[in-house]
Amino acid sequence: MMQTYIQFPLLSLVPKTLLLGVLGVCLHANAQVEHSSHPAKITPTKVSNACQGIGLECANAATPFITKDGKLLLAWTAGGVVSVAQSMDVGKSFSSAVKIAEHGKALDTGSDARPQIVADQQGNIFLAYAFFKDSNWNAQINTARSADGGNSFTSPETLVRDGSSQRFPSVLIKPDSSIFIAWIDKRLIATANRGGEKRLGGSIAYSFSGDGGKTFGTERFANENSCECCRIGGSLDPNGNPVLAYRAIFPGGIRDHATQVIAAKGAEPIRRVADDDWRTDACPHHGPAIAISGSGKVHVAWYTQGSKRSGVFYANSTNQGASYSKPSRVGAEGANVARPYLLASDQHIWLTWKEFDGTKSSVYLKESRDDGNTWSTPILLASTAGYSDHPLLLLRGNEAFLSWLTRDDGYQLISIGQKQ
Amino acid sequence: MKQYWLTLHTILSLSFAGSVLAVDTAYLKPYHTGDWKTIAKASNGAPLAIHFWGVTCPACVKEMPQWGQFLKVNPNARVVFIQVDDVSIDSMQKMLNKAGLEKANHYYVADPFDERLRYDIDPKWHGETPTTIVIDKNGKATRKTGLVDFQMLQNALKAKS
């Protein structure tokens, strides 16, 4: 068992001046300096803006999970370390952080990477993250478990025994406590390239665990051709089957989105969400979001730079992805719109995203109370001037929350209302 | 006396820091939010290409040796490379050496590679890599995401006739 504990309070609660002065772990960021009341004294220094600590105040990504009894579990990556802390008061204060793993610069902190954390009805926790295991930038997914509510975790161990690359874990926990994990797997690409092909991309692989993540069943491929650098979206349908949304590679190198139901007997057909026609070999680092409402309607939001469509879009499907509604634009045309995220409960759908206006990043929200047929006018939820993570949404009982990690304004869990 | 201490300090720094620091200061320069103006301005008079790449981006890794070849054939072409992943400088250096690009003009992103850093480069760019921005002799920038057509790049970077 991991015995290492980090003995410091979570720092979003401490005034920033004190934080910087006392700990000296977080170098001054320009954005913070610009907020000082003495702008005349600022000189364009070349000090690194990188926050160097391992606490939440220096995290690049933080992932929340609400347990059955309403406790917030927060997993984050900062300074090459994966940590977890708990909050009994919806993010106002946190327990001491538990250090799960330390990988330094090898930890995957790409802009679409984030640790995954889920807990079952009894409070057993399962965590997954990726790091780069060799000098060829092959990644490895590690998992760790806690049987005492997050006070201690098992030593991380590899999910897959394979020499190629596994990255971008995406974890769901089913009501029966079984765990589903999907990831981007490069073993097929590696084999093809050894055979002289010059293939790019990865594959969507998945596996289930019936024992809380201690062991996993056979690894299977849902789609052999996917983008290698975008997060996978996942949501459970009313039958309890995971449904994935991801950036596939369609013939001709078209990196458009697909959804796929993963039934007990295996992966169902690949369903294209929209014909955006984004032909590219580039890494967009910008995966989609998916949420499934009580009616089984599949709601998807995604980013594209396709020849037929460019920006962030939303569409839904009433037939498990066999056909999708016409994509509708999210955010204002011409605005810098990014990182959509969805939450669904019964017929109530929330859609959030981030916009940047040249000075501050803002999170917007719109909601639908009729299963995505009509939507409210977007409202501004929060803004920040410094670095920020993707906006995420989650439910705590009947109350919906925005989870947003910001460098300047701390970690925020903001109530966005009751579900209908 | 002051000169003596300065010299001693320099000697100590160099001997302690070894090759990694020497590489850092020699050819991998930090790129900070807002540095774009300086880099793009450097093009006045002649066209310039700025290539954004990441060591963890497979398409970039595949393409870097072609950039090395391009600069070998076109030694006067003005190209700036900016590495965007938060990785060790040592790992950047390894990949550049392998691509034959150790003598080129290199930066690495030293702030979070986010929307704020990209905004003055191109507010519409969401950070896809590889991405190449060509600035023509009039200062007009064109952004191309994905692998580069080196023939077109050669034409675009030809000095004014």
Residue ranges of the domains in chain B? 27-157
| pLDDT > 90 fraction of chain A, expressed in percent and rounded | 84
Q: Which residues pair with A102 in a beta bridge?
A: A81
Least confident of A18-32, A400-414, B80-94: A18-32
Rounded to whole angstroms, how far apart are CA atoms B156 and B10?
A: 42
End-to-end CA distance of chain B: 54
Partner B, chain A 53-72, Cβ-Cβ below 8 Å = 60
Cβ-based contacts of A281 with chain B (< 8 Å): 59, 146-147
Cβ-based contacts of B113 with chain A (< 8 Å): 111
pLDDT tens-digit profile of A256-265? Answer: 999 999 999 9
Taking the Cβ of residue B110 and every Cβ of chain A, the question of whether any pair is shorter than 8 Å is answered with yes
Mean pLDDT of A235-252: 97
The pLDDT-based confidence of B45 (bands split at 50, 70, 90) is confident
Mean pLDDT of A35-51: 43
Report pTM. 0.87
Cβ-based contacts of B54 with chain A (< 8 Å): 283
Taking the Cβ of residue B116 and every Cβ of chain A, the question of whether any pair is shorter than 8 Å is answered with yes
Taking the Cβ of residue A404 and every Cβ of chain B, the question of whether any pair is shorter than 8 Å is answered with no
Cβ-based contacts of A108 with chain B (< 8 Å): 56
pLDDT tens-digit profile of A221-243? Answer: 999 999 999 999 999 999 999 99
pLDDT: which is higher, A50 or A110: A110
**Is residue A417 within 8 Å of residue A343, measured between CB atoms?**
no
Contact flag A305-B145 (C-beta cutoff 8 Å): yes
DSSP 3-state of B154? helix
From residue B40, give the alpha-carbon distance in Å to each of A359, A410, B79, B80.
Answer: 21, 34, 11, 10
> Does residue B51 have a pLDDT over 50?
yes
Contact flag A46-B32 (C-beta cutoff 8 Å): yes
Say which CATH topology domain B27-157 has. Glutaredoxin (3.40.30)
DSSP 3-state of B105? strand
pLDDT tens-digit profile of A304-338? Answer: 999 999 999 999 999 999 999 999 999 988 899 99
Contact flag A285-B128 (C-beta cutoff 8 Å): yes
Contact flag A358-B87 (C-beta cutoff 8 Å): no
Rounded to whole angstroms, how far apart are CA atoms A75 and A145?
A: 13
Q: Which residues pair with A170 in a beta bridge?
A: A182
Q: Is the torsion defined by CA of A295, A118, A207, A391 positive or negative?
A: positive
Taking the Cβ of residue B156 and every Cβ of chain A, the question of whether any pair is shorter than 8 Å is answered with no
Mean pLDDT of A40-47: 37
> Mutating which of B20, B32, B56, B133 best tests the A interface, going by the most A Cβ atoms within 10 A?
B56
Mean pLDDT of B127-133: 97
DSSP 3-state of B63? helix
pLDDT tens-digit profile of A346-391? Answer: 999 999 999 999 999 999 999 999 999 999 999 999 999 999 999 9
Which residue among A48, A282, A386 sits closest to B110, beta carbon to beta carbon? A48
> Mutating which of A46, A52, A283 best tests the B interface, going by the most B Cβ atoms within 10 A?
A283
Contact flag B56-A137 (C-beta cutoff 8 Å): yes
